[in-house]
Each structure stands twice: as structure tokens, then as C-alpha cells.
């Protein structure tokens, strides 16, 4: 008997070798019924309605304190790790900066394969080389890239199958969002709102990479609402789409949050409502045709991107069964919309708001711009931002990270559009208690919080969509860019820039368990199950940590 053979016999007889993981297909029908297989996490937000709610309940308020670390995957690239893993039958697909995809054994954290796409050197993004994850469909994985491309990879060996241009990298188009797979199409939007792009959502044939439809977020000449822009402002008016949308299969509508108009801070330079910037748009899944839109912030001067995740639910609202969309917007207001028609149902401020004195009966804000040099609430990063919220059908509550007591002083300036260059229209500073004091940046690069809660802090809000009021709140000393995960056992998992990973009782906001992972949590946790064990994964700093109950 040779040694190789001997080792094999021992391992097999001691049960240490697992059965090979069968890679099964992920047809559209499986994604459509994602809620029926809570052991997997099949889309960026866990399913087409983007509730980030899982039916798994093995981990519960009664045993959550027994969570223990199972494995960690260390990122080899520094910078905010905003990726959202997808889990299919025991295999996790997660991206790494700038544009790598890894297939990981979800039980051990060991990597099967890694594909690295090196973006073109002139790729330009405003806020870091971010990538927020992949989509899966069939036997393929799909990733957008910083240099404005969409790539299809073989899910089993990670080899590229096609690679197509979504937007011109020379004009600063980029893709940072996880794509959305609907039927036989892969949909993405483009980033570049700080560089004078003209935004759009486009759909590609999953088989060939061919473009099927493309819908601009700024209507061209002859199209409805083109007159919400003057002159040639529409050609470089921004309105990017950089966060994954949602899908209602019954209505056959996809929903997308649209970002800021450009230049960001000088609204006077682009008169008009600037549609469909800072709006949600409902697009036909087959043709991309616009069904309806709702604009949150007309003629925005504050960079209030409406790139939040459209969260869909069928709830009783005002005593009637209603297909709603819930939305905590960067502009400081929480909204409930009818997602069939886009009709405004409810809107209330959830943080201090002074750029507007309220919403009219159609949900249009009444503007109250602040005098020059005075602070605007909420500040430039918004009352909330792209961090994925969660809706629990069990509690009926909508959970999200808000930035409280945070304000910005804007300095608008005239700027000239130069293709492929920053198009910002001035600048801003964060309001600080004393001149020159440290303030919050886009991400955390220092383990010391010397800006303190006096320049802003996090408040996790559990909103009742019936009233637009929080039922409970959970404050943190620092701000938080963490998303949310809820489960059928009424647990809420979330984090923050301080690096704590929290398990909170979704019903009442009671802290049940926490662990200091030490690095900023700037994405949402996910949960899945393999061989009867429920796992919860979260990215903190440069590490992806996976927990399960102590066995």
C-alpha cells in the first residue's frame, strides 16, 4: 500500500472527507421562489422583493448568545469591503476590490476559484474601487466592473464566458452594483454621477451578453419630461443607477433608485426638476419601458441620491390590501408608495430635515434652502444611503441605518462639463462643533473616533410603515453604513463603523448579542443553511466572518 492510498483510506473511514458538492442550475424559477429555499441567498437582497428577510429560525433570541465564529476569509485588498455574498447550495460567491470574484466553500471558508478582472487604468469612480457583488443565473455568475463592463463567468470554474461594454470608461461610466437577473436577462445600471454621465439601466441576454434594452434615466429630446432640463444640461446631467433594483413578477416591473443630478451641488446651474434624478423608476422587465416614476428630490442641491433599495411588500395599508414600496430616502424622509402606480401614500421625516419644510399631498417637498454658510440637515451623506434595509413580514416593521444630528455646509460654484472629468459644482464641509475639528468621512480609515458623536451618530430605526414613525430606535456613538438582515425568529442582525456585529430583538430593539469584529461593517449580513446548520455571514473591515451556533 503506497502512502497516498493509505492517507485516503484513513480520511474516508474517519469521515473527514465531505461528499462532493453538486453544483446545480439556478434557473429563473428558483430565484422567483427564493423564499422557498431559505438555505440559499440567491440575489443581492435575498429575493426579488428585497426584504432581506429569511425564513431560517435555528438561531433565535433564546440561543443567539451561543453563536461562535466558524471561519474567516481575509481580503487581500485594502479599502471598504462592500460586497454582498450570494450563496447557492453551499457555495458562496463574493467579490473583492477592485473586480475579483471568489467561489468559497460556505462551510469552511476555503476558496475553490478566484477570477480577477483588472479594470482599465483610466477607470474613474468617485468614492472608492467598490464592488457590491454578483448575480447568479443558470450555471453562470455575473459581475459589473469599474471600467464599465459586464462579465459572465462559469460558475463551476470561474472562467469568463463573455465580457461586454455597458458604458464608456473614457466618459467615467462604471458599474459598482451587483447585477439583477430577471428571466433570461442580466440588468445593471451605471455609476458616474460625479462625472457628468447620462445615466441608464440596461438589460443583457444572459446567454450571449447582447444588449436587449437600455432606458435612460434622463429623457432625451421628444420624450416626456425632457422639459425638466434646460438647454443641453440633460446630456451630462448624471442620474446614475448604482444600487441593485427590485422586481415584482406579477406586475412585470423592475424598480430602480436613481442618483443625483450633476453637477452635484450647484442646482442653479441646471434649472428644472431634472427628471428622473433622485427618483424611483418602474421599468417593464421585458422592454425597459418606463411605467411610472416618483421623484423624491426635485432640482437637488445636496447630493441626495435616491439609490436606496426599493423594498416591496404586500401589506394592509389604511385597511386595504396594498402592494407597497417602502423607502427611507437619503433626503431624510421615509416614504410609502403604491408600487402599481407610483402613487404617494405616506411620507415623514425620520431625522432633522431643514432643506424642506414638509411634503405636499403628492409627496413633493416644499423647499426651504438654507442661507449661504448655514448648515443643511441631513448632510451630504444623507439621513441614510445605499445600505440595504430589511422588512420583516412578522413584525411588519422596516429597519434601516440612519445618520442622526449630521449636517453639511454647501458651497455651490459654477462648473464646466469636461468629458470624463469631475463635475461637482462646488464643495461642502461637514458641520463641526468647533472650527477645524475632525469630521466624519465617507468611510472609516482610523480605529479612533476623534470626531465623536457631536458631528453625527447612528440610529437604527424600526419604522412602522402604517404611521411613518419609528416603533423603536437603537443608537450608536459613531455613524453606521451597515445594512440589515431579519429572520423568522425575530432576530435583526446589523453592524456599524465601530466594528460591532449586533443581534437585536426585531420586536423591541433589545440588544441580545454582540461581538467586536474590529473593522467597519459597511454591508449587510446574510444567512444560509448547509447540512442542517444555519450560518450568518458578515463583512467587517477586511474579513468576512461566518457564525453558527456552538455545537
Partner 1 sequence: MKFIACTLSRTTSLWIITAAFLLLHQSGSAQETGDHQYTSAAIEAGSRVYVQQCALCHGPQGSTVDGIDLRLGEFRNASSDDDLRNVIAMGAAQGRMPAFDLRPEELDGVIAYIRAGFDPEGVAVRVGDPVRGQSLFKGEGACADCHRVGGIGPRTAPDLTEIGAIRTPAALQRALLDPGSALLPINRPVRIVTRDEEVITGRRLNEDTYTVQLIDSEERLRSLVKADLVRYELSETPTHEPTSLSSDEVADLIGYLLSLRGL
| List 114, 116, 214, 514, residue binding partner 1 (CB under 8 A) | 514
Name the minimum Å distance from CB 330 to partner 1. Answer: 21
- In angstroms, rounded to a whole number, what is the distance separating the alpha carbons of residues 318 and 7? 67
User: According to CB under 8 A, which residues from 467 to 486 bind partner 1?
Assistant: 475-478
User: According to CB under 8 A, which residues from 2 to 31 bind partner 1?
Assistant: none
Q: Which residues contact 223 (CB under 8 A, 6 or more apart)?
A: none
C-alpha cell at 159: 472562467
Cα 121 off chain centre by: 26
Give me the DSSP letters along 121-137.
TT---SS-S-----EEE
455 touches partner 1 by CB under 8 A? yes
Q: Which stretch binds partner 1 (CB under 8 A): 38-46, 147-155, 192-200, 442-450?
A: 442-450
How many residues sit close enough to partner 1 to count as binding (CB under 8 A)? Answer: 30
- DSSP-assigned letter for residue 170: G
Q: Which is nearer to partner 1, 310 or 499 (CB)?
A: 499
Handedness of CA 153, 169, 521, 348 (dihedral sign): negative
Q: Which is nearer to partner 1, 326 or 455 (CB)?
A: 455
| List 30, 236, 339, 457, residue binding partner 1 (CB under 8 A) | 457
Name the minimum Å distance from CB 369 to partner 1. Answer: 17
CB 483 within 8 A of CB 523: yes
- In angstroms, rounded to a whole number, what is the distance separating the alpha carbons of residues 230 and 233? 6
CB 51 within 8 A of CB 390: yes
| List 316, 414, 454, 510, residue binding partner 1 (CB under 8 A) | 454
Name the minimum Å distance from CB 448 to partner 1. Answer: 5
Name the minimum Å distance from CB 447 to partner 1. Answer: 8
Catalytic option among 303, 305, 478, 490: 303
Q: Which is nearer to partner 1, 496 or 525 (CB)?
A: 496
- In angstroms, rounded to a whole number, what is the distance separating the alpha carbons of residues 217 and 272? 15
C-alpha cell at 110: 476555503
Name the minimum Å distance from CB 75 to partner 1. Answer: 23
User: According to CB under 8 A, which residues from 372 to 431 bind partner 1?
Assistant: 374-375, 404-405, 431
356 touches partner 1 by CB under 8 A? no
Name the minimum Å distance from CB 427 to partner 1. Answer: 15
In 413-464, where do the E strands start and end? 426-430, 457-464
Q: Which residues contact 309 (CB under 8 A, 6 or more apart)?
A: 45, 50, 243, 244, 246, 257, 386, 388, 389
User: C-alpha angle with apex 99: 86 to 124, nearest 5 degrees?
Assistant: 130
From residue 284, how far is each of 46, 215, 247, 248, 256 by CA, in Å?
21, 10, 10, 10, 11
Name the minimum Å distance from CB 454 to partner 1. Answer: 5
Q: Which is nearer to partner 1, 230 or 454 (CB)?
A: 454
C-alpha cell at 350: 425620520
* Reduced 3-state DSSP string for 425-436: CEEEEECCCCCC
452 touches partner 1 by CB under 8 A? yes
498 touches partner 1 by CB under 8 A? yes
- DSSP-assigned letter for residue 19: P
- In angstroms, rounded to a whole number, what is the distance separating the alpha carbons of residues 518 and 532? 29
Name the minimum Å distance from CB 433 to partner 1. Answer: 4
* Reduced 3-state DSSP string for 245-266: CEEECCCCEEEEECCCECCCCC
Q: Which stretch binds partner 1 (CB under 8 A): 250-258, 280-288, 461-469, 496-504?
A: 496-504
- DSSP-assigned letter for residue 103: E
- In angstroms, rounded to a whole number, what is the distance separating the alpha carbons of residues 547 and 258? 35
Residue with the three cell numbers 429560525: 57
Q: Which is nearer to partner 1, 131 or 476 (CB)?
A: 476
Find, among 194, 192, 193, 212, the residue nearest to 202 by Cα: 212
453 touches partner 1 by CB under 8 A? yes
Q: How many CB atoms lie within 10 A of CB 252?
A: 15
> Is 303 labeled as catalytic in the residue annotation?
yes
Which H/E stretch holds residue 9? helix 3-13
Q: Which is nearer to partner 1, 252 or 370 (CB)?
A: 370
437 touches partner 1 by CB under 8 A? yes
- In angstroms, rounded to a whole number, what is the distance separating the alpha carbons of residues 364 and 164? 39
| List 27, 271, 367, 447, residue binding partner 1 (CB under 8 A) | 447
C-alpha cell at 89: 447550495
Name the minimum Å distance from CB 459 to partner 1. Answer: 10
User: According to CB under 8 A, which residues from 325 to 354 bind partner 1?
Assistant: none
Residues counted in the chain: 551
441 touches partner 1 by CB under 8 A? no
CB 511 within 8 A of CB 535: no
Name the minimum Å distance from CB 355 to partner 1. Answer: 16
C-alpha cell at 407: 449636517
Q: Which stretch binds partner 1 (CB under 8 A): 107-115, 204-212, 218-226, 446-454?
A: 446-454
371 touches partner 1 by CB under 8 A? no
435 touches partner 1 by CB under 8 A? yes
448 touches partner 1 by CB under 8 A? yes
Q: Which is nearer to partner 1, 452 or 466 (CB)?
A: 452
Name the minimum Å distance from CB 350 to partner 1. Answer: 15
Q: Which stretch binds partner 1 (CB under 8 A): 109-117, 195-203, 410-418, 445-453?
A: 445-453
Q: Which is nearer to partner 1, 46 or 496 (CB)?
A: 496
Q: Which is nearer to partner 1, 252 or 449 (CB)?
A: 449
Which residues here bind partner 1, judged by CB under 8 A?
374-375, 404-405, 431-438, 447-455, 457, 475-478, 496, 498, 500, 514
Q: Active-site residues: which are they? A: 303
Amino acid at each position: 500500500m503506497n502512502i497516498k492510498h493509505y492517507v485516503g483510506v484513513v480520511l474516508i473511514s474517519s469521515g473527514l472527507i465531505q461528499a462532493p458538492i453538486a453544483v446545480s442550475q439556478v434557473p429563473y424559477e428558483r430565484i422567483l421562489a427564493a423564499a422557498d429555499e431559505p438555505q440559499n441567498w440567491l440575489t443581492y437582497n435575498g429575493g426579488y422583493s428585497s426584504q432581506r428577510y429569511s425564513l431560517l429560525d435555528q438561531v433565535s433570541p433564546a440561543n443567539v448568545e451561543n453563536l461562535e465564529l466558524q471561519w474567516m476569509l481575509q481580503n487581500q485588498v485594502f479599502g471598504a469591503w462592500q460586497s454582498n455574498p450570494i450563496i447557492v447550495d453551499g457555495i458562496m460567491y463574493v467579490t473583492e476590490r477592485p473586480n475579483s470574484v471568489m467561489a468559497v466553500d460556505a462551510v469552511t471558508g476555503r476558496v475553490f476559484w478566484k477570477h480577477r478582472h483588472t479594470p482599465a487604468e483610466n477607470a474613474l469612480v468617485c468614492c472608492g474601487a467598490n464592488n457590491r457583488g454578483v448575480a447568479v443565473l443558470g450555471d453562470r455568475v455575473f459581475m459589473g466592473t469599474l471600467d464599465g463592463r459586464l462579465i459572465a463567468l462559469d460558475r463551476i470554474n470561474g472562467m469568463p464566458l463573455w465580457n461586454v461594454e455597458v458604458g464608456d470608461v473614457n466618459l467615467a461610466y462604471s458599474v459598482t452594483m451587483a447585477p439583477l437577473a430577471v428571466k433570461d436577462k442580466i440588468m445593471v445600471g451605471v455609476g458616474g454621477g460625479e462625472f457628468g454621465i447620462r445615466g441608464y439601466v440596461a438589460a443583457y441576454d444572459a446567454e450571449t451578453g447582447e444588449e436587449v434594452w437600455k432606458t435612460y434615466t434622463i429623457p432625451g429630446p421628444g420624450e416626456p419630461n425632457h422639459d425638466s432640463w434646460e438647454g443641453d444640461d440633460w446630456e451630462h446631467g448624471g442620474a446614475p443607477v448604482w444600487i441593485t433594483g427590485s422586481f415584482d413578477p406579477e406586475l412585470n416591473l423592475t424598480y430602480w433608485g436613481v442618483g443625483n443630478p450633476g453637477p452635484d451641488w450647484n442646482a442653479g446651474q441646471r434649472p428644472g426638476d431634472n427628471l428622473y434624478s433622485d427618483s424611483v423608476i418602474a421599468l417593464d422587465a421585458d422592454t425597459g419601458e418606463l411605467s411610472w416614476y416618483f421623484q423624491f428630490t426635485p432640482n437637488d442641491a445636496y447630493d441626495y441620491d435616491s439609490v436606496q433599495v426599493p423594498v416591496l411588500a404586500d401589506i394592509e395599508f389604511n385597511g386595504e390590501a396594498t402592494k407597497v414600496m417602502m423607502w427611507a430616502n437619503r433626503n431624510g424622509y421615509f416614504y410609502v408608495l403604491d408600487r402599481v402606480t407610483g402613487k404617494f401614500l405616506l411620507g415623514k421625516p425620520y431625522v432633522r430635515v431643514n432643506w424642506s419644510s414638509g411634503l405636499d399631498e403628492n409627496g413633493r417637498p416644499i423647499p426651504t434652502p438654507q442661507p449661504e454658510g448655514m448648515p443643511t440637515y441631513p448632510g451630504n451623506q444623507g439621513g441614510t444611503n445605499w445600505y440595504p434595509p430589511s422588512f420583516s413580514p412578522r413584525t411588519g416593521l422596516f429597519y434601516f441605518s440612519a445618520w442622526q444630528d449630521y449636517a453639511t455646509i454647501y458651497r455651490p460654484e459654477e462648473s464646466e462639463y469636461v468629458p470624463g472629468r469631475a463635475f461637482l459644482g462646488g464643495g461642502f464641509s461637514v458641520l463641526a462643533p468647533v472650527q477645524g475639528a475632525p469630521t466624519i468621512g465617507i468611510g472609516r480609515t482610523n480605529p479612533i473616533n476623534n470626531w465623536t458623536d457631536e458631528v453625527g451618530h447612528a440610529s437604527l430605526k424600526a419604522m412602522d410603515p402604517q404611521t411613518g414613525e419609528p416603533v423603536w430606535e437603537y443608537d450608536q456613538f459613531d455613524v453606521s453604513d451597515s445594512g440589515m438582515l431579519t429572520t423568522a425568529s425575530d432576530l435583526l442582525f446589523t453592524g456599524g463603523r465601530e466594528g460591532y456585529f449586533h443581534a437585536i430583538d426585531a420586536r423591541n430593539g433589545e440588544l441580545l448579542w454582540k461581538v467586536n469584529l474590529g473593522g467597519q461593517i459597511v454591508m449587510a449580513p446574510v444567512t444560509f443553511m448547509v447540512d442542517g446548520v444555519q450560518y450568518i455571514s458578515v463583512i467587517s473591515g477586511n474579513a468576512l466572518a461566518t457564525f453558527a451556533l456552538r455545537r
